[in-house]
């Protein structure tokens, strides 16, 4: 068993006015390594399991809340987990969480797994030019996940162990925003070979339009929808950021709303997953920044608390089950008699029309392609929200 404590040390650094004797420190720093071969060994640290059911685990696993609170520097007194202590850990954990996902399996099996390294791994600090690198490693025979730690260069005794928290990110603004918790959209999707198909099988109908991913993939949908309604976008589109390319702008906007005391709930959605997989509603900036590390995501603003939202469609879901159109409309008009459904539906159809107009306004690949043999049906999830405007 490898014991990191035999080779590494954890030092708590405090700012003091008195400077340490530099000569004495230099002597200690230049002491030889306990074996130069150490610099080429793979060091393994085992993970603690704090994943999707973090709240339940903190409340039920004996000692876990104490351990996580100590690891994160949160003061915790008492024997039983309190709601306040659990909430603090759930907020702070995004400064420590790491993630991996399986490359094979069903969509559910490939969902991102979030975990926290042990006390040693969680103490490693960030550096743009790190001395070590880390990577998750899943050992199949034991069905256990580890983090591999290895040096990137020879080290002297006393040198700090650091890693790059924004590894692989080259944009300086995105690197800076990624470390808060510690370019234009490229539309490069190719349409299907419609020309070849129209020549070889002219009578075949397609159940999609070329470049329809501009509407069916969430990051493209948000970009396309912004073309309607001027610089701020159309009123039917919530403020949305592509967390892969617009992270600095999102962090700035989030902090601005925070200073103004405005509601800051956001919905983090993967670009191209269905059934609400890997979708999170949160007001934690740390959580949002870290979630972008698992799968590419967009972040539309969630509804404000003062607005009442009803998910409406011709097959709407509620907390009680599925409500079909012939049942939904009478119930809606009964609850909101001042809003006839025909008027609401007309506004919805106008929004749909605006969306498809801007989606077809530019030639492919910047817009949908006009292909005579294409036929398609699209489903839309939407929410109704009170309009505070004068009308």
Tens digit of pLDDT for each residue in 190-235?
A: 345 566 666 677 677 888 888 888 888 888 888 889 888 777 789 8
Helix, strand or coil for residue 48? strand
40 vs 337: CA distance, rounded Å: 73
Whose tokens are 């498809």? That residue is: 356
- Work out the pLDDT band at 12, boundaries 50, 70, 90: low
What's 67's DSSP letter? H
238 vs 301: CA distance, rounded Å: 6
Containing 65, the helix (H) or strand (E) segment is helix 64-72
- 292 or 390: which leads in pLDDT: 292
Highest mean pLDDT among 21-25, 250-254, 268-272: 250-254
- The per-residue pLDDT for 9 is 66
The reply to whether omega before 222 is within 30° of 0 (cis) is: no
Is the pLDDT assigned to residue 185 strictly greater than 60?
A: no
Domains of the chain, CATH where assigned: 4-154 (no CATH), 197-225+306-385 (no CATH), 239-301 (3.30.1490.20)
Is the pLDDT assigned to residue 268 strictly greater than 80?
A: yes
Structural tokens at position 100: 């991996």
Is the pLDDT assigned to residue 351 strictly greater than 90?
A: yes
pLDDT digits (tens, 9 = 90+) for 41-89: 333 344 444 444 788 888 888 888 888 888 888 877 666 667 888 888 8
Nearest to 74 by CA among 55, 59, 87: 87
167 vs 128: CA distance, rounded Å: 9
In this prediction, residues 126-133 reach a mean pLDDT of 88
- 193 or 114: which leads in pLDDT: 114
Q: Which of 12-16, 155-159, 192-196, 201-205 has the lowest mean pLDDT?
A: 12-16
- The per-residue pLDDT for 37 is 36
Predicted TM-score of the model (pTM): 0.52
Highest mean pLDDT among 31-40, 49-58, 183-192, 382-391: 382-391
Helix, strand or coil for residue 258? helix
Kindly provide the residue ranges of all beta strands, DSSP E only, lying in the chain, ordered along the sequence: 43-48, 97-100, 113-117, 125-126, 132-139, 144-151, 162-163, 240-242, 266-270, 280-282, 297-300, 315-318, 321-324
- The per-residue pLDDT for 17 is 47
- The per-residue pLDDT for 23 is 56
28 vs 22: CA distance, rounded Å: 10
302 vs 224: CA distance, rounded Å: 20
- The per-residue pLDDT for 353 is 93
Is the pLDDT assigned to residue 256 strictly greater than 80?
A: yes
In this prediction, residues 11-40 reach a mean pLDDT of 47
Is the pLDDT assigned to residue 347 strictly greater than 70?
A: yes
């Amino acid at each position: 068993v490898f014991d990191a404590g035999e080779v590494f040390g954890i030092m708590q650094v405090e700012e003091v006015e008195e400077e340490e004797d530099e000569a004495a420190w230099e002597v200690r720093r230049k002491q030889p390594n306990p074996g130069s071969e150490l610099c080429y060994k793979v060091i393994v640290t085992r993970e603690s399991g704090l994943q999707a059911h973090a709240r339940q685990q903190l409340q039920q696993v004996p000692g876990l809340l104490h351990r996580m609170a100590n690891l994160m520097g949160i003061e915790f007194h008492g024997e039983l987990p309190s709601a306040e202590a659990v909430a603090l850990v759930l907020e702070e954990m995004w400064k420590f969480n790491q993630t991996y996902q399986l490359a094979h399996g069903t969509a559910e099996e490939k969902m991102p797994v979030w975990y926290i390294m042990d006390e040693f791994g969680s103490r490693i600090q960030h550096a743009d030019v790190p001395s070590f690198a880390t990577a998750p490693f899943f050992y199949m025979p034991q069905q256990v996940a580890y983090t591999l730690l290895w040096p990137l260069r020879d080290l002297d005794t006393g040198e700090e162990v650091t890693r790059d928290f924004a590894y692989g990110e080259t944009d300086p603004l995105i690197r800076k925003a990624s470390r808060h918790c510690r370019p234009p959209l490229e539309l490069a999707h190719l349409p299907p070979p419609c020309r070849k198909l129209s020549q070889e099988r002219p009578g075949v109908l397609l159940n999609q339009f070329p470049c329809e991913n501009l509407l069916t993939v969430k990051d493209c949908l948000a970009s396309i929808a912004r073309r309607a309604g001027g610089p701020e976008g159309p009123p039917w589109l919530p403020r949305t950021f592509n967390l892969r390319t617009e992270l600095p702008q999102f962090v700035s906007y989030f902090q601005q709303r925070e200073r103004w005391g405005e509601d800051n709930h956001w919905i983090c959605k993967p670009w191209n997953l269905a059934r609400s997989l890997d979708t999170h509603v949160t007001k934690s900036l740390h959580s949002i920044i870290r979630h972008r590390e698992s799968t590419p995501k967009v972040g539309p603003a969630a509804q404000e608390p003062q607005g009442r939202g009803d998910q409406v469609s011709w097959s709407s879901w509620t907390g009680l089950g599925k409500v079909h159109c012939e049942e939904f409309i009478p119930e809606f008009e009964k609850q909101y008699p001042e809003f006839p459904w025909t008027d609401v539906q007309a506004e919805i159809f106008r929004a749909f029309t605006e969306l498809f107009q801007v989606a077809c306004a530019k030639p492919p690949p910047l817009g949908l392609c006009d292909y005579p043999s294409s036929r398609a049906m699209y489903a839309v999830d939407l929410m109704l929200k009170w309009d505070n405007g004068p009308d």
